[in-house]
Structure 1
Amino acid sequence: MIIKNSVLADLLQELPDLRPQMYFKSSLTALSHAMEDQVLASADPPLVIASFQRERFYRQEAHRYQRIAQKSDQIYVLAAPETSFTSGYDRYEMIAFEPEDSLTEEWHLVVIGQQYASCLVCRERLMSTLPESEENLIDIDTSRRFEGIWTFDRQVTRKAAEILLKRILAYRPELKSKIKRAQKQFLQVKEATLKSNEAPECPILNPDPFVQRLVTYLQAGQYKLLKAYKSITEQERKERLVNSITAAIRQSLNTHEILKKAAEELGQAMQVCRCLIYRCKQTDKFATNQHEFLSHDVCSLSGENWPLQNNPLFQEVVAKQERVYIVNTQTDERVQNSLVLQNLVQRFGIISWLLVPVLDKGRLLGMVELHHCGVVPHEWEEEALELTEAIASQLGVALIQAEAYANLEDLNEQLEALERTRSNLIAITGHELRTPLSTIQVCLESLASEPDMPPELRQVMLNTALSDGERMRKLIQDFLTLSQLESGRIQWHPEALQVQECVDLALSSTRVRSSSEQLPQITAEVSPELPLVQADGEWLVEVLAKLLDNACKFTSAEGEVTIQAKRNGNQMLEVTVADTGRGIEPNRLERVFDRFYQEEGALRRSTGGTGLGLAICRQIVTAWGGQIWAESAGKDQGSQFHFTVPIAEPG
């Protein structure tokens, strides 16, 4: 048999004027022992009904009830069996009920004598499930709470005994005659008393003031103990969460992973509807939400552009460099006076709002936001606010470490690039300088040692020496030019120019320098109707000349080189130098503009050059605010070099 009805609920229904109170288990234990001691100290044989929830609680008091049974034959003990507890008689009546019965959630003790009466009828209020770490910290048995009635009132005690005896009769019908005798002896009021206006033969006794003080003291002590437990638990939870974030920081220097882990841990620990963590600076207009924790039925803000510049809460955090906390967005003046905040509150259902800055020496690195989206505003306690600030502080350390690591990686890449540049410089300059120097030396030694050399051969020697001398001059000039451009020592003289004139000058220079070589066919398709450009003419011609030299160098005499120009938007003119030559692999289109880059390697090239020409072109084009890039379909598919020049404003 399983009875689902609560004894406490039945008692309150019978006596609606009763007001239940909250008791801790330690207080109920003291009261129960006091009531049992009263039975043991009295000569009056009483009715005693005790319900222990489960057998394990009964076993702790079994010896006391063996002594109490010596005082009376009306002793009833109820419990849910777990090992050996069964219905039967062992100096007192034992009543076993099912573990699913509602009595497993209640604690009862009813004592009725001729000179005294008292009852304790309580129902346990189950605590919410705690994390394992907190279960280890708190004495769960000590902190158990019960809601119910404790009184010396005989009328209430009789009613409680009546309800419990009916339960006992339902479990053990064979006790009918014994229970009927108990009802007649302890629960019925004498007819003479009912017919007269006299007080009952056993007046209602008020609780002893000492007992009342004892219970109050026990309750206050238990509240203090639970408060201490809670404080310790909060501190442990804070340390555990901070340690978790710290562990994530140590495991990874990836900013994305750190912020994602922090959002999840903090959101779960704070039990919020939404936790956002995003990177931002004081001057940012927007921040993109990428790291968040969401509870059920809350919309995501991932990828949402979060307003900052016109956000009064963000600006207040920046100004104060401390947290900003709104308990109720529906009544807060800052929200009501800002259309931006009202829009965010309505769109995303924010009722309570907390913003905590992530700082490093006064510099804003990011923001932690907690949103409560329930119907009723949520007021976070000071410990929770301090915990959030502690996490934000740890995040500041993490972001600084990640930035330092990223800067270190950049520095290592720069050092590697510098090392490659140094190696290329040594290889290229060694090759480019040694070869012409060797030729010049041979020519000069031949001229000096052979005074009778024929004039025709003498002229060949001189021309060869002059040619290689010019080659060395160009090499040194390229070094100096790139050095000046990179150091910013060039003085620019921009003016309004026609691109066609600059193209003609570059073509003339290319043909003069390569008069002894057979060049590919060069075609210029530049309309004189194009707008003027704003650039330094000397350097524009230099860019065109180097691009033409580069195209001719990698295109056979049977190939073709084309120069074109067109508008690129309203502010730029785009110039293209295309060839049908060797082409460039797609994965090398960006690298060709690096200093000393040689597609074939520094020492096994089929064409001359230092690899500085395109690097110089990039420096020049970037200086006037333009862009330069290369395109190619691949090897032997030709290439196209594009650069943009600003269009001159009409005079």
Structure 2
Amino acid sequence: MPISSSVLEELLERSPHLRPQLYFKSSLTALSHAMEDQVLAVGGNPVVIASFQKERFYRQEANRYRRISALTSQVYVLAAPETSFMNGEDDYEIIPFEAADQLSQEWHLVVIGPNYSTCLICRERSLLSHEVGAMDQSRRFEGIWTFDREVCCAAADILLARIGRYRSDLQPKLAEATERISATTVDMAAVAPDPFAQRLVTHLQAGQYKLLKAYRSITTQERRERLVNSITSAIRQSLDPAEIFQVAVKELQQATDVCRCIIYRCKASDTSAEILYEARRDEQIVSLQGETWQLQANSLFQQIAETHETIAITDTTTDRTFDLEPIRAVLDQWHIRSWLMVPVIYQGRLLGMVELHHCMPSPYSWSESESMLVEAIANQLGVAIIQSESYANLEDLNEQLAALERTRSNLIAITGHELRTPLSTIQVCLESLATEPDMPLELRQVMLNTALGDADRMRKLVQDFITLSRLESGRVEWHLESLDIEECVYLALSSLNTRQDTQLPDIKNEVTAMPLVRADGEWLVEVLSKLLDNACKFTEAEGTVVIEAHPNGDRMLEITISDTGRGIEPTQLEAVFDRFYQEEESLRRTASGTGLGLAICRQIILALGGQIWAESDGRDQGSQFHFTVPIVKEPGKPFLPMASTPIADPPKRKRRQKKSS
């Protein structure tokens, strides 16, 4: 049957003058060790009774009690068994009690010798709800600690009675212990307190050292958390990496008090990096800001790029772990005596580097806490970089979505206008022909010609949609051949003359003998035709359109179509090649068209391996459209073919022989 009564309560009943005190576990540990050391130092065959709450607490002191049992035969140890603690005699008496026994909540140690005595009788206080999970050393006990021999004997008597109930086989030995306790008198003058006091002071000093170490750890953790919080706050307040890096490098230098702290962006494949973010302890430290950091010859960077692990070097002048000779001049130039390099990593990707430089004459040993602090900051910087890139990508996507929305709106407006207008005209003409059988023949012919013209306009609109779709989706099969650009210009001019029903501006063809180009003739003529048509459309009949060609380097031929027409605002020179672009709003433009012609030209020229661009000084200043195509290779020189995807055949035109002017 478990014993539910408390040893402390029984002792207080026998000695009502005693007043329990509050003790922390660390204090009880110090007192217990001091009492045990006094036994080891003084000896004297005392009676020692120790009650551990649980077996695991006893195991920590087992060796100590074996040493004590060598000095006296009267040693009793009580504990609640957990694994192998059971009745027996192992140099001293072992007495297990049930876990439900009140002793499992108490801590006792009684020592009664011939000329000294002391006892420690305590009961653990229950933890409050907010204290659950607190550190073991903060456990609290209430109880009695005294040298009073009368109190010590009373405590020993209570514990010996308990032992007798647990182990009746020890009655003869217990009687001997009781007789020894009652027969012994103490001469307090003969008591040697030195072992007890020395051990108590030693333990308290050790406790103070542990406490100081804990305070330092807490301070370091607090500094680390403050720094991480400041970087996190900067990340939340701004998505600009430059601003975040400026805050990080400053805070990190102040937190570590290092001579120099730098942060730079880099990838594993980079050969160099520019130092843009730096913080120094004072102006006497040479600045690295704006310098280019060579990475290819830096064995430290190469290892970090491969392993993604921090590198700390205490002394760069004596280190033999890394090959620093290729960068010895750099170390000497910037006075780097001790070096800490921490990579900025995100999901296995190297994004940058954080470096701490110690520049004093004596080396500096980087502590683990400093490395962990910098690594925590590097992790935050990695998140900041990725967030910034994601935000930039999101902005690009938003711009693309806005462009798509504008394209959709333009498509609806343009196609609606371009299709509705000719359809309305065709419908009116056909209705007139159907309802007016007596219409004069001349008017009937006008109606038919108008309907046919608008039907052809609709056909061209649909054809442009289909052509651009095929070009953008890669469904064109290109037939490259050697071409005379002068012949292609002639074919484009002939096509323009047959299609125009209005007066054209003066067109000057200044293309003379040029190197042959490698291109698809049908598509090249298509580009020339659309550019010439575009120039004539926006140039008055009194104006001029000029076609020129000249080599652009030794591999490309540049063709230019200039006009003296409306011109283009400088801010719109790139936009004119976008799909459905119209200089004026779709329903207010002064020239018909879908805005697909230049977009088609760009797709064709890029596919042929060239470039296309526009130039203009602004409104009413005319414009120039340039494009390049590859020149046919000379014998003995390799030709680099364009990269394109084969797709369906383009509409074929009948080739004409060049006519003499």
Matched, 1:499 2:485: yes
Matched, 1:307 2:291: no
CA distance in 1 between counterparts of 2:543 and 2:312 reads 72
CA distance in 1 between counterparts of 2:516 and 2:202 reads 96
Residue-by-residue CA offset, 1:478-497 (whole Å, 9 max, x unaligned): 11122222222222223332
Structure 1 unmatched runs, 5+: 1-207
- 2:348 is matched with 362
Matched, 1:593 2:577: yes
| Deviation (angstroms), 1:385 | 0.1
Structure 2 unmatched runs, 5+: 1-193, 636-661
Asked if 2 retains the 8 angstrom alpha-carbon contact of 1:253 and 1:401, the reply is yes
Matched, 1:423 2:409: yes
- 1:440 is matched with 426
| Deviation (angstroms), 1:264 | 1.6
- 1:556 is matched with 540
Helix, strand or coil at the partner of 1:350: coil
Asked if 2 retains the 8 angstrom alpha-carbon contact of 1:359 and 1:366, the reply is yes
Helix, strand or coil at the partner of 1:522: strand
CA distance in 2 between counterparts of 1:414 and 1:365 reads 26
Cα separation, partners in 2 of 1:359 and 1:578, compared to 1, 3 Å? same
- 1:525 is matched with 510
Asked if 1 retains the 8 angstrom alpha-carbon contact of 2:298 and 2:324, the reply is no
Could you state the TM-score of these two structures normalised by the residue count of structure 1?
A: 0.64
Amino acid at match of 2:518: Q
Residue-by-residue CA offset, 1:607-634 (whole Å, 9 max, x unaligned): 1001111112222222233222211111
Matched, 1:622 2:606: yes
| Deviation (angstroms), 1:335 | 5.4
- 2:303 is matched with 316
Residue-by-residue CA offset, 1:491-521 (whole Å, 9 max, x unaligned): 222333222222222111111111x211011
Asked if 1 retains the 8 angstrom alpha-carbon contact of 2:312 and 2:366, the reply is no
CA distance in 2 between counterparts of 1:305 and 1:532 reads 46
CA distance in 1 between counterparts of 2:530 and 2:333 reads 58
Helix, strand or coil at the partner of 2:541: coil
| Deviation (angstroms), 1:307 | 2.8
Matched, 1:230 2:216: yes
CA distance in 1 between counterparts of 2:302 and 2:295 reads 7
- 2:472 is matched with 486
Helix, strand or coil at the partner of 2:593: coil
- 2:335 is matched with 349
Could you state the TM-score of these two structures normalised by the residue count of structure 2?
A: 0.63
1:262 aligns with one of 225, 248, 272:
248
| Deviation (angstroms), 1:431 | 0.5
Range 345-354 or range 549-558, more displaced: 345-354
Alignment of 1:70-81 (within 5 A): none
| Deviation (angstroms), 1:451 | 2.8
CA distance in 2 between counterparts of 1:625 and 1:377 reads 59
Helix, strand or coil at the partner of 1:541: helix
- 2:640 is matched with none
Asked if 1 retains the 8 angstrom alpha-carbon contact of 2:245 and 2:277, the reply is yes
- 1:179 is matched with none
Alignment of 1:441-460 (within 5 A): 441-460=427-446
- 1:537 is matched with 521
Asked if 1 retains the 8 angstrom alpha-carbon contact of 2:530 and 2:597, the reply is yes
Helix, strand or coil at the partner of 2:344: strand
CA distance in 1 between counterparts of 2:297 and 2:471 reads 42
- 2:624 is matched with 640
- 2:109 is matched with none
| Deviation (angstroms), 1:604 | 0.3
Amino acid at match of 1:591: A
CA distance in 1 between counterparts of 2:400 and 2:446 reads 46
Amino acid at match of 1:629: W
Cα separation, partners in 2 of 1:343 and 1:538, compared to 1, 3 Å? farther
| Deviation (angstroms), 1:209 | 9.6
| Deviation (angstroms), 1:219 | 5.6
Q: How many residues align?
A: 441
| Deviation (angstroms), 1:212 | 8.2
Residue-by-residue CA offset, 1:412-449 (whole Å, 9 max, x unaligned): 11111111111000100010010111111111222222
Amino acid at match of 1:280: C
Cα separation, partners in 2 of 1:539 and 1:292, compared to 1, 3 Å? farther
Asked if 1 retains the 8 angstrom alpha-carbon contact of 2:340 and 2:366, the reply is no
Asked if 2 retains the 8 angstrom alpha-carbon contact of 1:335 and 1:342, the reply is no
- 1:379 is matched with 365
Asked if 2 retains the 8 angstrom alpha-carbon contact of 1:312 and 1:334, the reply is no
- 2:87 is matched with none
- 1:185 is matched with none
CA distance in 2 between counterparts of 1:541 and 1:277 reads 55
- 1:583 is matched with 567
- 1:140 is matched with none
Residue-by-residue CA offset, 1:119-159 (whole Å, 9 max, x unaligned): xxxxxxxxxxxxxxxxxxxxxxxxxxxxxxxxxxxxxxxxx
Cα separation, partners in 2 of 1:627 and 1:377, compared to 1, 3 Å? farther
CA distance in 2 between counterparts of 1:540 and 1:211 reads 105
- 2:391 is matched with 405
Helix, strand or coil at the partner of 1:306: strand
Asked if 1 retains the 8 angstrom alpha-carbon contact of 2:299 and 2:323, the reply is no
Range 287-296 or range 250-259, more displaced: 287-296
Cα separation, partners in 2 of 1:270 and 1:209, compared to 1, 3 Å? same
| Deviation (angstroms), 1:210 | 9.2
| Deviation (angstroms), 1:334 | 6.2
1:571 aligns with one of 555, 561, 564:
555
Amino acid at match of 1:607: A
Helix, strand or coil at the partner of 2:559: strand
CA distance in 1 between counterparts of 2:354 and 2:324 reads 23
Amino acid at match of 1:279: R
Amino acid at match of 2:529: A
Cα separation, partners in 2 of 1:572 and 1:249, compared to 1, 3 Å? same
Residue-by-residue CA offset, 1:385-428 (whole Å, 9 max, x unaligned): 01111111111222222222222211111111111111000100
Asked if 2 retains the 8 angstrom alpha-carbon contact of 1:287 and 1:308, the reply is yes
CA distance in 1 between counterparts of 2:270 and 2:317 reads 27
Amino acid at match of 2:413: A
CA distance in 1 between counterparts of 2:403 and 2:212 reads 64
| Deviation (angstroms), 1:213 | 7.7
Amino acid at match of 2:584: E
Matched, 1:395 2:381: yes
Q: Percent identity?
A: 67
CA distance in 1 between counterparts of 2:399 and 2:391 reads 12
- 2:455 is matched with 469
2:588 aligns with one of 604, 624, 628:
604
